[in-house]
A and B are shown apart, each in its own frame.
Chain A
Amino acid sequence: MHDQQEEPRLYGLMAEFETAEDLAKACHQSYEAGYRVQDAFSPYPVEEVSEALGHHKSYVPLLMLCGGIVGALTGFGLQYITSVHVYALNIGGRPLNSWPAFIPVTFEVTILFAGICGVLGMFALNGLPRPHHPVFNVKRFAAHASTDGFFLCIEAADPKFDRDGTETFLRSLHPSEVSEVEN
C-alpha cells in the first residue's frame, strides 16, 4: 500500500484499527501527541472518538433554535397580519387577534423551520454534499469504512506532520495497517 512513490500531493497518513475501542484509544494518544488536523472514521457513531479528537460542541442545536424562533415569528406573524390587517373576518364576534387559535399553526411552523434548519445546517457544517474526498483514494477505506473498518487519518496540513515521524507514531498505536492518502 505505502510504496515509495514520489509524494506529489500527500493528503495525509491513515491508520486502520479493528475496533471502536482501539480507534478511540489511538485518537486519544494522537491528540495527546499534539496532532490537531486529523479525523477519524467509523461505520457508526462512536462518542469516545469524537471526544478524543476534541469535538465537544456542535452548532446544530443553536441553528435549530434560531430556525425555531424564526419559524414561530413567521407562523404567528403570518396569522396575525392576515387575520388582523389584510383580511379581517368577524368570526362569531371573537377578537381579530384571537391568539389562542393561532397557537397550533405557530407550533407547526416552529417545528418545520427548526427541522429544516437542523438538517440543512448539519450537512452544511459537515461540508456535505461532497462526493469526492481524498480519503476515498485509500482502497481499504473505500471498501471498509462504511462496513467494519475504523480509521484515523492525520493530515499533511497538520503543523506537526512529518512523513516519517508521523508514520512511526501511527505504527506505535498498533494499527492493522498504515497507508498514504493521496490527494
Chain B
Amino acid sequence: MAFGEQSPVGKGARAQASKTQAQMAKPPELPLVGAGHDNKSVTEEISGVVFGKTPLWWFGALAVSGAVMVMMLYAIIYLLFTGTGVWGLNIPVGWGFAIINFVWWIGIGHAGTLISAILLLLNQSWRTSINRFAEAMTLFAVACAGLFPILHTGRPWLAVYWLLPYPNTMGLWPQFRSPLIWDVFAVSTYFTISLLFWYVGLVPDLAAMRDRAKNRLAAKVYGVFSLGWRGSAAHWHNYESLYLLLAGISTPLVLSVHTVVSFDFSVGQLPGWHATIFPPYFVAGAIYAGFAMVLLLAIPLRVMFKLQDFITLRHLENMGKVTLATGMIVAYGYLVEVFMAFYSGNQYEAFMILNRITGPYQVQWWLLLLCNALAPQVLWVKSWRRSPLVLFLVSIVVSIGMWLERFIIVVTSLHRDFLPSSWGMYAGTKWDWALYIGTMGMFLTLFFLFIRFVPMISIFEMRTIVPDRKNLDEAPKGGA
C-alpha cells in the first residue's frame, strides 16, 4: 500500500481538526489507524468482531463474571431479608462500603463521558476508536454505582417517596436543600444522558450492522434499533448538530455529577469533609480512576480481538498522559488537604490529618499515596507510557489507590470525630466484600455482552479518519 503514513484526507466536520493535529504533530506521532485501512475494511473488521465466531475465551470469561454476579445477587437477597446490619456499618461509621463503592464506581464512569464529550469538543480525533466502549463502561459503572445508595436505604421499595418527588398519599416531598437529593437528580440525569449519547452514536453503526447481517433475526433486531437510518445528508445535518450539542451539555453535566457527589461530603461539617477543594479534587480523581479503567479494558480487548490497528499505541500513550495529568491534580489535592488542616488553625482538622498519617488507618493512607501519587510517575518515561504492560499494571494500582482514597475519606473522618468517647473502628464484613466484588462481576458481564452484540468501536467515526476507497490508491490529497 502506498498509503504509509496516516495523513488525514479532509472530510466533513472533523477535517479541520485532523489538519491542525497533523501540523502540531511535528515530532512524528504514532499513527491513529493502522496503514492501509479504508471505509470498507474498517467496517468489516469492527463488525466482524460481532459477526465472527464467538471465541472460546469469551464463554469462559462470561461464565466467571456471571458467577461473580450471582454472588452479588446472593449478597443482595441476604441483605434485603436480613437488614443492613449484615454490613459493617454502625455508629460512628454509618457510611462505609456503600458510599465508598458508590463514589468509586461513579468516578470510573466519568472517563467515558470525558472521552465522548469533552475530547470531541476539543477536536481530539484520537478519541474516535475508544469512545464507544468507554461510554458503555460509563453506563455499566453508573449502574453498579446506583445499586449501593439504593441498597443502603435498607428497604428500597419504601425509599422512593423521599428520593423522588411524586405526589404520594402521605403528602410528603423530598428535602431539596440536601445534597443527597441533588445526587439522585445528578446521577439519574447522568445515566439518562449518557445512555442517549451512546445510543445516538450507535444508530448509524447499527444500520451498518443491519445491512451486513447474514442472519435474518440479527438483521431484524439491528434494523429495529437502527430506526431505519439510511445516511441521508439531511439526516446527518441534524445528527451532527445534535451530537455536538449533546457533547456540549454533557460536559458541564459530567463536571456537575462528581461535584454534587463531593457536596455529599463537603456540605457536612466533619473535619476532612468540609473542604472547598473537594469538587475539583473529586472530579480529577474521577477522571483518573476512569482512565485507569478504560486502559484496563482496552489493553486486553485490543489483543483478544486483534484491534491493534484501531486502538493503537498512540491511544494508549494519550490515555497514559491523561492518567498522569489527573494523577498530579489528585496528588495536589492530597497536599492541599494536609496544608489546609494546619493552616486552618482548627485543632479538629489538624487531628484528622495526624490521625490519617499516624492513626489506626495509617497503612491505608500511606498505600493510597503510594498508589495514586507515586505509581503514575513512571508514566513520565515515554517508553513505559507506550508499553501496554506498564500501563496495565499502573492502572490496576491506580484503581486500588482510588478505592483506598474513598475509604480514607469516608472512614477516617467518621471514626474519630469531635468526641473521643464516641470513637470507634470500622471494617467491611464478608457481605460488604461479596457485594463489592459482585458488582465487578455485573460490570464485566454487561461488558462482555456488549462487546459480543454491539460494535465496540464507532465505525462511522472511524470512517472519518481513514481515506475513501478511491483515495487509498492515489496519493492522499490535502483536503476536500
Interface residues of A (CB under 8 A from B): 18-22, 24, 27, 39-50, 53, 55, 58-61, 64, 68, 78-79, 82-83, 86-87, 89, 91, 94, 98, 101-102, 104-105, 107-109, 111-112, 114-116, 118-119, 121-123, 125-126, 128-133, 135-136, 142-143, 145-148, 150
Known: A43-B208, A87-B173, A148-B468. A20 touches B200 (CB 8 A): no
Taking a contact as CB atoms under 8 Å apart, the answer to whether A45 and B39 are in contact is no
Interface residue? B38 (CB, 8 A): yes
Residues of B within 8 A of A64 (CB): 242, 245, 249
Q: How far is the CA of A2 from the CA of B137 in the complex (A)?
A: 48
Taking a contact as CB atoms under 8 Å apart, the answer to whether A115 and B192 are in contact is yes
Q: How far is the CA of A98 from the CA of B176 in the complex (A)?
A: 9
Known: A39-B234, A126-B235. A18 touches B182 (CB 8 A): no
Taking a contact as CB atoms under 8 Å apart, the answer to whether A43 and B231 are in contact is yes
Interface residues on B, range: 35 or more
Taking a contact as CB atoms under 8 Å apart, the answer to whether B192 and A58 are in contact is no
Taking a contact as CB atoms under 8 Å apart, the answer to whether A115 and B228 are in contact is no
Identify which of B380-388, B411-419, B459-467 touches chain A.
B459-467
Taking a contact as CB atoms under 8 Å apart, the answer to whether B469 and A104 are in contact is no
* CB contact between B237 and one of A58, A133, A147 (< 8 Å): that residue: A58
Interface residue? B95 (CB, 8 A): no
Interface residue? B5 (CB, 8 A): no
Residues of A within 8 A of B469 (CB): 18-19, 148
28 contacts between A and B (CB under 8 A): A20-B12, A20-B468, A21-B477, A39-B233, A42-B231, A42-B233, A43-B43, A43-B463, A44-B12, A45-B237, A45-B239, A46-B11, A46-B12, A48-B480, A50-B237, A78-B165, A82-B165, A91-B177, A98-B177, A104-B182, A105-B176, A108-B256, A111-B189, A112-B192, A115-B196, A118-B246, A125-B238, A148-B38
Taking a contact as CB atoms under 8 Å apart, the answer to whether A108 and B185 are in contact is yes
Taking a contact as CB atoms under 8 Å apart, the answer to whether B240 and A45 are in contact is yes
Q: How far is the CA of A104 from the CA of B181 in the complex (A)?
A: 10
Interface residue? B345 (CB, 8 A): no
* CB contact between B480 and one of A20, A123, A125 (< 8 Å): that residue: A20
Q: Smallest CB-CB separation from A88: which chain B residue?
A: B173
Taking a contact as CB atoms under 8 Å apart, the answer to whether A147 and B39 are in contact is yes
Residues of B within 8 A of A143 (CB): 211
* CB contact between B211 and one of A55, A83, A87, A142 (< 8 Å): that residue: A142
Q: How far is the CA of A101 from the CA of B461 in the complex (A)?
A: 41
Known: A39-B232, A60-B245, A128-B227. A86 touches B177 (CB 8 A): no
Residues of B within 8 A of A19 (CB): 468-471
Please report whether the interface of chain B is mostly helix, strand, loop or mixed according to DSSP: helix
Residues of A within 8 A of B242 (CB): 60, 64, 118-119, 121-122
Known: A44-B461, A111-B249. A146 touches B231 (CB 8 A): yes
Q: How far is the CA of A78 from the CA of B167 in the complex (A)?
A: 11
Interface residue? B321 (CB, 8 A): no
**8 Å CB interface, B130-184 against A:** 165, 171-177, 179, 181-182
Taking a contact as CB atoms under 8 Å apart, the answer to whether A42 and B236 are in contact is yes
Taking a contact as CB atoms under 8 Å apart, the answer to whether B228 and A89 are in contact is no
Q: Which of A45, A60, A114, A129 has most chain B Cβ within 10 Å?
A: A45
Residues of A within 8 A of B175 (CB): 89, 91
**Closest approach, in angstroms, between the C-beta of B62 and any C-beta of chain A?**
29
Taking a contact as CB atoms under 8 Å apart, the answer to whether A132 and B228 are in contact is yes
Interface residue? B193 (CB, 8 A): yes
Taking a contact as CB atoms under 8 Å apart, the answer to whether B245 and A118 are in contact is yes
